Amino acid sequence: MQKLDILVIAAHPDDAELGCGGVLAKHVSLGHRVGVVDLTRGELGTRGTPATRDAEAAAASKILGLSVRENLGMPDGFFQNNPEHQLPIAAVVRKYQPTVVITNAPADRHPDHGRAARLVSDACFLAGLAKVATAGNESPWRPKAVYHFIQSNYLQPDFVVDISGFWDTKLAAIKAFKTQFYDPQSTAPTTFISTPEFLKLVESRAIEFGHSIGATHGEGFIKQQALGVKSLLDFY
């Protein structure tokens, strides 16, 4: 069975874990099929190699319980929002038929993130057009919603998902990318994300978002279209 309930399509291996690892773990625990497609292998990263990132992504996927993970092998730092890169994404959307797609923040410190957000959004729309052909001749499919997680830059979320009870799983999945994050034994150059303060930022953001809805931890998301509410009495 290929169909997924939730598919994350993000620029780099570890973007999904940092941005929405708690939501992924929570939905897996609820019995949903969840997958991740990484656009690049993070080959321009200062620390680690494409091979280590592949191994780390596989380890993180097991921790989260993903049904699917694949990598499109696009050029890190140089992919563009053009047909060459839109069509492979449209093909995986059609292949997995996700109800919801989650992608990068619409604006962030790393330029790949905002560019990926626009690329994935446009590709999801194109995936629903019957006259757009993809390499495997997949049938048209468009997700019901595309959401953006929040990354380094603080962005005001449109909604917050309670991930109470799943913070430890999220953190373990992040730490599976051991070449990228803080390791006191590492002799690799220090980067923006390899300091101990960076993981404190990730947790403090989760605590802040959780506090906003009365939960211990939360993950915030930005919507592309209005969210429907069936009743004003259906509070969180």
For residue range 150-199, what is the model confidence (pLDDT) as tens digits?
999 999 999 999 999 999 999 999 999 999 999 999 999 999 999 999 99
Report which of 229, 98, 236, 218 is spatially closest to residue 157, judged by C-alpha positions: 218
In a domain, 229, yes or no: no
Interatomic CA distance for residues 103 and 117, integer angstroms:
6
Q: What is the mean pLDDT of residues 11-23?
A: 98
Predicted local distance difference test score (pLDDT) of residue 82: 98
Predicted local distance difference test score (pLDDT) of residue 229: 85
In a domain, 95, yes or no: yes
In a domain, 137, yes or no: yes
Q: How far is CA 95 from CA 3, 34, 37, 81, 163, in A?
A: 7, 14, 12, 20, 28
Q: What is the DSSP letter of 135?
A: T
Q: Tokens in use for 208?
A: 């802040």
In a domain, 231, yes or no: no
In a domain, 70, yes or no: yes
Q: Tokens in use for 83?
A: 């047909």
Interatomic CA distance for residues 106 and 114, integer angstroms:
5
Q: Is the pLDDT of residue 121 over 90?
A: yes
Which neighbouring-strand residues pair with 212? none
In a domain, 108, yes or no: yes
Domain extent at residue 176: 6-223
Q: Is the pLDDT of residue 234 over 90?
A: no
Question: What confidence category does residue 236 fall into, taking pLDDT thresholds of 50, 70 and 90?
Answer: low
Helix and strand numbers, DSSP H then E, in the chain: 6, 7
In a domain, 169, yes or no: yes
Domain tally, the chain:
1
Which CATH number belongs to the domain containing residue 32 in this structure? 3.40.50.10320
Q: How far is CA 200 from CA 103, 106, 136, in A?
A: 23, 23, 43
To the nearest whole percent, how much of the chain has pLDDT over 90? 94
Output the average pLDDT for the chain: 96
Q: What is the mean pLDDT of residues 76-81?
A: 98
Tokens 């410190």 belong to which residue?
Answer: 109
Amino acid residing at 110: H
Q: What is the DSSP annotation of 111-125? A: HHHHHHHHHHHHHHH
Q: Model's pTM, two decimal places?
A: 0.96
In a domain, 21, yes or no: yes
Predicted local distance difference test score (pLDDT) of residue 235: 64
Predicted local distance difference test score (pLDDT) of residue 233: 83
